Amino acid sequence: MLNGAHTRTEHARHRLGGLPLAPDERSAFASKRDETIEIVIAPQPAGIAAHRRNVGIEIDEALVQKILSDRYQLVTITQIRTRRDLERLAIRRPDLVFSGVKYFTFDGEDLWLNDFLEVHGIAYIASDRSALDNEHDKARAKSLVRAANVATAEFFLTAPGEHPTAGTLPLPFPLFVKPVTGGDSRGVDAKSVVHDFDSFRRKVSGIHENQMSQALVETYLSGREYSVGILEDASNGELRAMPVEIIAAPNSNGDRILDYDVKKQDSEAVAPVTDAATRLKLGTIAKEAFRALGGKSLGRIDIKMSHANVPNFIEANLMPGLRRGYFYRSCLLNLDMTYEAMILAIADNGLATRSETPDHTERDLVGQTLIG
């Protein structure tokens, strides 16, 4: 039994480009789970602060490798620069790819990583392209959750000139205006809450010019704001909801909103939700929204109360950050889960989805187009 495990591990090391095990390494490896994990990353663009649209989950790959290496026998970091790098990954066929990359662009074409891995029978974390597309377009997300009978604020889409007068607006003021796509509250600021047509027109124009996006315009919700972390048990599909309250200080207009600067400066407070009835309402809405969007494995659902204290879906993040942000804090405050335990739980969940299809060989893959 032990020899068989050693043989598999040494074979995996060769597949992943490592050296055979030295005799003094074998006892340490024998106590770990006999699975291989590759942490896949994308090249960092010029300018350390540059925003990477193709990356959904920013991770500290060295820290994640250290955490996973305490449980799994072989954990490596792989940077994908070329199509051939991805082909080699498919040939190696690790048990799990742990990555926050959405897609790679080769020769002007986007190749979505999780869809590629699914085609090749390789387990991964987070959701597939279809779900990420649903989440990325905030208007589509709102339409999908509304169709699932989840409450969400009334809304419409617009661009400069589409609603030329106050009389052409389909909703009354006050309104909340933000880009229809994008994350991290980019394009959201104190001017996002509008009370008159001139303010509306200026904010819509600003989003068009700065974010190059249509504007999503919603009925303004003035109540408390929450974020609900979701962890799925891959063995039975059960969803665990972990709500926290996000508390921003009033801005210059007296509004409490999570704008770009608040998030960037990390100036908001994150608190546990202690009221049982509120926890139940938030958890129910979050789970229903997650399912309506086609989410898998993990995610975050943002919810805000109306003036009448009715919870409304705001937006979703099906690739939540795995540093020390809202998702981690939802795990900590609800489950008393350490950061290390969170990373291990996500990996365990990903491994539980592994395909039983035979390994691809290099002969199978050479000459094949890897974009479906």
Question: Tell me: the pLDDT tens digits for 5-51?
Answer: 333 444 444 444 444 545 555 555 557 889 999 999 999 876 555 55
**Residue in the block written with tokens 């972990």:** 242
Q: Please, are residues 96 and 123 in contact by the beta-carbon 8 Å criterion? A: yes
Confidence at residue 107, expressed as pLDDT on a 0 to 100 scale: 92
Confidence at residue 51, expressed as pLDDT on a 0 to 100 scale: 56
Distances (CA, A) of 201 to 6, 173, 179, 221: 67, 13, 14, 20
pLDDT in tens, 152-177: 999 999 999 999 999 999 999 999 99
Q: Please, are residues 282 and 289 in contact by the beta-carbon 8 Å criterion? A: no
Task: Please classify residue 75 by burial: count the beta carbons closer than 10 Å to its beta carbon, then call 0-12 exposed, 13-18 middle and 19+ buried.
Answer: buried
CA proximity to 131, closest of 230, 59, 246: 230
Q: How far is C-alpha 113 from the chain's CA centre?
A: 14
Confidence at residue 46, expressed as pLDDT on a 0 to 100 scale: 66
Confidence at residue 346, expressed as pLDDT on a 0 to 100 scale: 96
Alpha-helical runs (H) found in the chain = 2-15, 26-30, 61-69, 83-92, 113-119, 129-136, 138-147, 197-210, 260-265, 276-292, 326-335, 339-351, 362-365
List the structure tokens of 360: 């691809």
Q: Please, are residues 30 and 5 in contact by the beta-carbon 8 Å criterion? A: yes
CA proximity to 337, closest of 301, 302, 298, 311: 298
Grouping H, G, I as helix, E, B as strand and the rest as coil, residue 13 is helix
Reading the chain (372 residues) residue by residue, the pLDDT tens digits are 233 333 344 444 444 444 454 555 555 555 788 999 999 999 987 655 555 788 988 899 999 999 999 999 999 999 999 999 999 999 999 999 999 999 999 999 999 999 999 999 999 999 999 999 999 999 999 999 999 999 999 999 999 999 999 999 999 999 999 999 987 788 898 999 999 999 999 999 999 999 899 999 999 999 999 999 999 988 888 999 999 999 999 988 889 988 778 878 888 999 999 999 999 999 999 999 999 999 999 999 999 999 999 999 999 999 998 988 899 999 999 999 999 999 999 999 999 988 654 444 433 433 333 433
Q: Please, are residues 123 and 353 in contact by the beta-carbon 8 Å criterion? A: yes
Confidence at residue 14, expressed as pLDDT on a 0 to 100 scale: 47
- Please tell me the distance from the alpha carbon of residue 80 to that of residue 53, in angstroms, as a whole number: 16
Quote the pTM value.
0.86
Confidence at residue 3, expressed as pLDDT on a 0 to 100 scale: 31
CA proximity to 86, closest of 69, 111, 62, 64: 111
Q: Please, are residues 242 and 231 in contact by the beta-carbon 8 Å criterion? A: yes
